[in-house]
Amino acid sequence: MSLTDTNNPDRQEWLSYQTGNLVVQLGEGWSEADQLPSRERSYKEKLSKCSEGDVVAFKGEGVRGDRPLQLATLLDWVRLAEAEGLVVDFDGLSPQAVSLMRLALAAPKKEKEVESDQDVFERIGRLFMARQGEKRQVYEFTGELMRSLVRLVMGKARFRGRDFWMCLEDCGVKALPIVALISTMVGVILGFVGGTQLQAFGSTIYMVDLVGVAVAWELGCLMTGVIMSGRTGAAFAAQLGSMKVNQEIDALDTLGLSTMEYLVVPRALALILMMPLLTLFADFFGCLGGFIVALQFDISPVEYWVELTGTLDLRGILRGIIKSFFFGIIVAGTGCYYGMFSGRSSSAVGTAATKAVVSGISWVIVCDAMFAFVFQVVGF
Amino acid sequence: MSKQEQEKKLHIEVQDLTMAYGSFVLMKDLNFKVYEGDVFIIMGASGCGKSTMMRHLIGLNEPAKGDILYRGESFVKASASGREQMVRRCGVMYQSGALWSSMTLAENVILPLKQFASYSDREAESIARYKLSLVGLSGFEDFYPSEISGGMAKRAGVARALALDPEVLFLDEPSAGLDPLSARRLDEMILELSSNLKMTTVVVTHELESIFLIGNNSIFLDVNTRTLGATGNPKHLRDHCENPMIRNFLRRGELNAIGD
């Protein structure tokens, strides 16, 4: 009698149960996709009829070592039977299948750790505590950074001068082209917007004031802050994050070197020093962009110069410079913070860089808004 | 070479291979053969180019000269799609597992299954469970690589390498950095897998215990002459190799033969 009926899986000849013994006969084609689900159903049905201590015997030549799906399904079935407290016997299979199954079952299955039931209040509490921990981290980082900067001023901080110069080059000279390009374009855009609108009143000359004031007061430093956050803040986070993954930060720690002084201070210092300079350049290039457009509106270079210097005094430029100094602190701080507290995997480094850019840009803009308010109040 | 080995079918053949980084020649004139079912060891001192050798075999590095043949078919001269086909028949475990950190262990195994084989989600999950069981990681399906130990990451790397039922399994330093018991278990697992799954296994290692336990054929890359030092069964090389330096290497320097 053929027990391996491949044509009709519903005829359950391949499964036979006799007092305490379930025999599963696996012939060719038992694992075909169209048969497997119904077979699995009948198998589970039979299993539920067995009582604890019964033997489930797998037999037949239908399980081949080079067919992973068959072995995988068989393994699932064996585990099902074991979960029911049944004894499994698969010696009736081909020798290769037997040894592979032995190998797969050799190590005990790790049981899922049951998580303790958390009610809503506990969850809220935990979430809150986690948030508090994060806040604490921020305070600690800020405090440590301040302490290191004070030590630096007192000449006690230790870091490699070379690192500092390299950071300086990276935040300064290498960032200049992109800052120049973007601020020129911003100047051009402002010039066009102002020029076309003011043309209606026959006072195109005032576009010079618009470009000059907008660039020097706001957009020069703001665009520089945004560019540097995307460019350098992200780079800081990624560098420090991958140093963490490589245990380079641990190596500094165990040498007793302050990671704050060695890694964060040179980066922060370089960026804070370079931001005002870059802003000055951004102002210049913004006005240059405005100048290019001014020519289109028949404003002569001399007119442009006279109008620009008439409306823009040192105080206006200083507004941007003062803000850029703080933007430097924000960008360097967020970049280094998320880098230093990054997780230890490649995806965590990506997350750190993203967070650094997002919070860097957000805080730069928030800070800018606050300064607009403060300058208004103090009448600067 | 024993008679038995000659009867086995040739799987990988390396002809006149020169490996170089730019103008710096790492190894030259390499000739050796790997037979089907072999556990083939690539050994040599640190920095001699063992891992680079493996990278050449799986197409991550281009040979400066020479050819690599899989079952008589040139790998170097093959077209891009032909190469892809050949590489897909190889499973590779990298030194520290190289698991994708944003995916769970099961997802790491499922990715190649879903990309290159036509399994349904359920089937792929089932196969992933099976492959992880084979390396003793059942129950760890939903763990992320960052949540498991280094030894487990290596085993999970093997499970991923096995996902597509490769004909050749490449293992880069499988037992390096593991405690002796874990290293031994991993070696035994490699032996079990290679005999049960009927694969050819190529292992890069310099762990002597592993070499003698699992290897039945090997090459020794000589860092001084920059070419093949010797080839054959590692135990045989230890006892009968003509080059005293290699005998010394395989005896952990206990035979002070270099001065002789």
Instruction: Compute the Cα dihedral for B196, B198, B204, B210 and give only its sign.
Output: positive
Q: Please check whether residue A191 lies inside any domain of the structure.
A: yes
Nearest C-alpha neighbor of B249 from the set B199, B212, B209, B208? B208
- A289, A361 contact by CB (below 8 A): no
Q: Phi, psi (5° rounding) for residue B148? A: -120, 165
Q: Please check whether residue A127 lies inside any domain of the structure.
A: no
Domain total for chain B?
1
Query: A167 with A94, same domain?
Result: no
Chain A residues touching B98 at Cβ < 8 A: none
Q: Tell the burial category of A322 from Cβ atoms under 10 Å away from its Cβ (0-12, 13-18, 19+).
A: middle
Q: Please check whether residue B19 lies inside any domain of the structure.
A: yes
**pLDDT tens figures, B108-164:** 999 888 888 888 888 889 999 999 998 888 889 899 888 888 888 888 999 999 888
Nearest C-alpha neighbor of B231 from the set B36, B3, B25, B40? B40
- Name the residue of chain B whose CA is nearest to A70's CA: B127
- State the CATH number of the domain containing residue A94: 3.30.750
Cα A306 to Cα A83: distance, rounded to the nearest angstrom: 89
Q: Which of residues 288-347 of A touch B (CB under 8 A)?
A: 343-347
- A49, A10 contact by CB (below 8 A): no
Query: A78 with A195, same domain?
Result: no
Query: A317 with A214, same domain?
Result: yes
The answer to whether residue B199 neighbours chain A at the CB level (below 8 Å) is no
Q: Please check whether residue A141 lies inside any domain of the structure.
A: no
- B216, B2 contact by CB (below 8 A): no
Of the candidates A71, A75, A347, which has its C-beta nearest B102's C-beta? A347
Q: How far is CA B258 from CA A139, B206, B233, B245, B247, in A?
A: 61, 19, 22, 6, 10
Q: Please check whether residue B175 lies inside any domain of the structure.
A: no
Q: Please check whether residue A7 lies inside any domain of the structure.
A: no
Nearest C-alpha neighbor of B238 from the set B252, B228, B225? B252
- Name the residue of chain A whose CA is nearest to B192's CA: A103
pLDDT of residue A209: 94
Supply the ipTM of this predicted assembly. Answer: 0.73
Nearest C-alpha neighbor of B19 from the set B60, B71, B64, B59? B64
Task: Give me the domain span that covers residue A272.
Answer: 160-378
Query: A101 with A199, same domain?
Result: no
Number of neighbouring beta carbons within 10 Å of residue A279: 29
Exposure string for A29-62, b = 16+ CB within 10 A, e = fewer? ebbeeebbeebeeebeebbeebeeebebbbbbeb
Cα A266 to Cα A227: distance, rounded to the nearest angstrom: 20
pLDDT of residue B259: 45
Query: A172 with A240, same domain?
Result: yes
The answer to whether residue A154 neighbours chain B at the CB level (below 8 Å) is no
Query: A178 with A305, same domain?
Result: yes
Q: Please check whether residue A47 lies inside any domain of the structure.
A: yes
Q: Please check whether residue B102 lies inside any domain of the structure.
A: no
Q: How far is CA B22 from CA B67, B181, B227, B254, in A?
A: 18, 41, 18, 37
- A115, B215 contact by CB (below 8 A): no
Give percent of chain B above pLDDT 90. Answer: 13
How many residues are listed for chain A in this entry?
Answer: 380
- State the CATH number of the domain containing residue B45: 3.40.50.300
| Amino acid type, A362 | S
Structure tokens at A132: 């508090």
Confidence label for B88 from pLDDT (cuts 50, 70 and 90): confident
Number of neighbouring beta carbons within 10 Å of residue B259: 6
Query: A338 with A196, same domain?
Result: yes
Q: Please check whether residue A274 lies inside any domain of the structure.
A: yes
- Sole residue written with tokens 């980066």: A267
Cα B197 to Cα B156: distance, rounded to the nearest angstrom: 17
Cα A312 to Cα A217: distance, rounded to the nearest angstrom: 9
Chain A residues touching B197 at Cβ < 8 A: 65-66, 100
Average pLDDT across chain B, whole number:
85
pLDDT above 60 for B252:
yes
pLDDT of residue B6: 54
Query: A221 with A320, same domain?
Result: yes
**pLDDT tens figures, B233-244:** 888 888 888 888
Q: Please check whether residue B163 lies inside any domain of the structure.
A: no
Q: Please check whether residue B138 lies inside any domain of the structure.
A: no
The answer to whether residue B192 neighbours chain A at the CB level (below 8 Å) is yes
pLDDT of residue A317: 93
Task: Give me the domain span that covers residue B226.
Answer: 7-89+206-255
The answer to whether residue B40 neighbours chain A at the CB level (below 8 Å) is no
User: Which helix (H) or strand (E) is A163 found in, with range?
Assistant: helix A161-171
- Sole residue written with tokens 């969850």: A123
Query: A220 with A361, same domain?
Result: yes
Q: Please check whether residue B246 lies inside any domain of the structure.
A: yes
Structure tokens at B163: 């996902």
Domain total for chain A?
2
Q: Phi, psi (5° rounding) for residue B32? A: -160, 165
Cα A110 to Cα B105: distance, rounded to the nearest angstrom: 14
Chain A residues touching B196 at Cβ < 8 A: 65, 96, 99-100, 103
Exposure string for A147-160, b = 16+ CB within 10 A, e = fewer? ebbebbeeeebebe
Q: Please check whether residue A325 lies inside any domain of the structure.
A: yes
pLDDT of residue B255: 60
DSSP string, B33-94: EEETT-EEEEEESTTSSHHHHHHHHTTSS--SEEEEEETTEESSSS-HHHHHHHHHTEEEE-
The answer to whether residue A32 neighbours chain B at the CB level (below 8 Å) is no
Chain B residues touching A345 at Cβ < 8 A: 101-102, 144-146
Structure tokens at A317: 């430029």
pLDDT of residue B197: 83
B127 contacts A72? CB cut-off 8 A: yes
Q: Please check whether residue B17 lies inside any domain of the structure.
A: yes
- B40, B34 contact by CB (below 8 A): yes
The answer to whether residue A100 neighbours chain B at the CB level (below 8 Å) is yes
DSSP string, B211-240: HHHH-SEEEEEETTTTEEEEES-HHHHHHH
- A62, A70 contact by CB (below 8 A): yes
Cα A300 to Cα A190: distance, rounded to the nearest angstrom: 18
- A97, A63 contact by CB (below 8 A): yes
Nearest C-alpha neighbor of A349 from the set A252, A240, A261, A271? A240
Could you list the pLDDT tens digit for every one of the 380 residues in chain A? 344 444 444 455 777 777 778 888 887 777 777 777 888 888 888 888 888 778 888 888 777 777 788 888 888 888 888 888 888 888 888 888 888 888 888 877 777 766 666 788 888 888 888 888 888 889 999 998 888 888 888 888 778 888 899 999 999 999 999 999 999 999 999 999 999 999 999 899 999 999 999 999 999 999 999 999 999 999 999 999 999 888 888 888 877 778 888 899 999 999 999 999 999 999 999 999 999 999 999 999 999 999 999 998 899 999 999 999 999 999 999 999 999 999 888 888 999 999 999 999 999 999 999 999 999 998 87
Q: Tell the burial category of A301 from Cβ atoms under 10 Å away from its Cβ (0-12, 13-18, 19+).
A: exposed
How many residues are listed for chain B in this entry?
Answer: 260
Q: Please check whether residue B30 lies inside any domain of the structure.
A: yes
Query: A284 with A182, same domain?
Result: yes
Of the candidates A99, A104, A106, which has its C-beta nearest B130's C-beta? A104
Q: Please check whether residue A134 lies inside any domain of the structure.
A: no
What beta strand segments (E) does chain A contain?
Answer: 15-18, 21-25, 55-59, 87-92
